[in-house]
Amino acid sequence: MDTRAKEVVRACTTDSDEERTGFAEIVTRLIVAGVERYHADLVRAEKAYYMPDGSFEVVPSVRIDTAPAAEFSASGVAAAVRAVQAATIGYQTFCRQVMAAGCVGYHVSIAGRRVVYYGRTGDSHVEWFPGAR
């Protein structure tokens, strides 16, 4: 990953954590930088961004003050996604809500236009980017 792309992923992480930028704008900026996908580990408080050639950058993110629930609730994750899409909650509240629904992380496939949220036992829920289906 080149220096410019590293700057972009660090800025995207900060802007998201500080609730200055929404998901759609973050994805647009990552596309321009050439990022193919990223993984958000909610427990470790970090995001790993990957380029098509396999190079990557790991960026610390804000630690969420919520322990993930033992059981995964796809409907709870979906409700948090709808709320953040409607801008009725910010990113930090979104993270707390998905963790309360048992989510420990998520994979964003920019190329695949979807996000896979997963829990402690491997249960998962797929959310397609708006208009992707």
Per-residue pLDDT at 133 exceeds 80? no
Could you give the number of structural domains in the chain? Answer: 1
Query: Is 69 within the bounds of a domain?
Result: yes
Per-residue pLDDT at 132 exceeds 90? no
Query: Is 66 within the bounds of a domain?
Result: yes
Query: Is 120 within the bounds of a domain?
Result: yes
pTM, two decimals, is 0.94
Bridge partners for 43 per DSSP: none
- Residue 16: CATH number of its domain: 3.30.1810.10
Q: CB neighbours of 62 closer than 8 A, spacing ≥ 6?
A: 17, 45, 92
What are the pLDDT digits (tens) for 19-72? 999 898 999 999 999 999 999 999 999 999 999 999 999 999 999 999 999 999
Query: Is 123 within the bounds of a domain?
Result: yes
Q: Identify the domain containing residue 102 by its residue range.
A: 3-128
Residue 130 pLDDT class (50, 70, 90 cuts): confident
Query: Is 133 within the bounds of a domain?
Result: no
Per-residue pLDDT at 85 exceeds 80? yes
Bridge partners for 57 per DSSP: 49
Query: Is 25 within the bounds of a domain?
Result: yes
